[in-house]
């Protein structure tokens, strides 16, 4: 992940907490799915975004996610839907940063 990402986020209308959360989420994705820059070079990250797509329907039908990222929140486990959605949002923001 590019170190300038945090500077990019700080210029957006986001709180410091959200900036830290986005960076943390991107690092978590990298830990389990590999370097975001390599994903971006491969196909602008679209295959990773597909892996990080998990719908309410998927959740209701108890489908396994396409990614391998576990979710453990401070107060127990997050739902796969909520966790995947938050990670996808952070990764999409990172890829938007890379496209500028």
**SS3 of 53-64:** CCCHHHHHCCCC
DSSP letter at 43?
A: H
> pLDDT tens-digit profile of 19-54?
999 999 999 999 999 999 999 999 999 999 999 999
Q: What is the Cα–Cα distance from 49 to 36, expressed in whole angstroms?
A: 11
| Residues in contact with 86: Cβ distance below 8 Å, sequence separation at least 6, in sequence order | 21, 25
The number of domains in the chain is: 1
Residue 14 has pLDDT above 90, yes or no: yes
Range of the domain at 23: 5-99
Length of the chain: 100
């Amino acid at each position: 992940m590019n170190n300038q990402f945090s500077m990019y986020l700080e210029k957006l209308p986001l709180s410091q907490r959200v900036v830290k959360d986005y960076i943390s989420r991107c690092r978590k994705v990298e830990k389990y799915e590999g370097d975001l820059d390599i994903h971006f070079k491969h196909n602008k990250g679209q295959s990773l975004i597909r892996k990080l797509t998990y719908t309410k329907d998927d959740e209701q039908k108890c489908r396994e996610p396409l990614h391998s990222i576990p979710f453990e929140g401070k107060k127990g486990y997050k739902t796969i839907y909520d966790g995947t959605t938050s990670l996808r949002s952070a990764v999409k923001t990172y890829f938007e940063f890379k496209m500028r």
